[in-house]
Amino acid sequence: MVFPRFIPDAISIGLILFAVIPWISPIIQSIEVAGVGKLVLQVQEVKKNQANLQDEVDALRFLLSGFVTDWEYEHLRKLAGGLPFEYQRGAGKDDRFTGEVIRMRDFGLISKRISYALWDIPLSGNLKDYVELTDRGRSYLKLREYAKA
């Protein structure tokens, strides 16, 4: 009536319906078009699933970032790098650096290259002479880098 010379055909009606679907989706859950099939509108369900997945990804990122301390993470990065990892530790059994190295070994992120205890490594030197990054440690670094993105 607005456009008296406009004669709707199947294609124009289909395009008009396709343009209106986003506004009527909260009201109508499915549309059946003769000869074409049934179009089920699941926008709300998809949005809900997306929100749930985002919550799970955020939780995994939080856990991944807190698995090791920032210092331990830096140690792993240095062990993975091509340069020597020069260190200097304290002489006591309460030395934090040595504790961090032992903790990374306990998590399976690094392994010893020596036959004696990590507490007995020299007070300074190249840490790469005494420990090496494991496959698990390399995987952790990749995951952590990916989680930052």
Q: pLDDT tens-digit profile of 82-105?
A: 999 999 999 888 899 999 999 999
What percentage of the chain carries pLDDT values higher than 90?
48
CA–CA distance, 89 with 118 (Å, rounded to integer): 11
Distances 143 to 14, 16, 100, 132, 140 between C-alpha atoms, Å:
46, 46, 20, 19, 5
Residue ranges of alpha helices (H) inside 25-69 are 43-66
Q: Which residue would you say has higher pLDDT here, 19 or 105? A: 105
In this model, does residue 1 exceed pLDDT 60?
no
65, 41, 33, 53: which is closest to 143 by C-alpha? 65
pTM over the 0.85 mark: no
Looking at the chain, the domain(s) classified CATH 1.10.10 span 67-148
CATH code: domain 67-148 is 1.10.10
Which string of DSSP letters, residue by residue, matches 80-94? HSSS--EEE--SSTT
3-class SS of residue 98 = helix
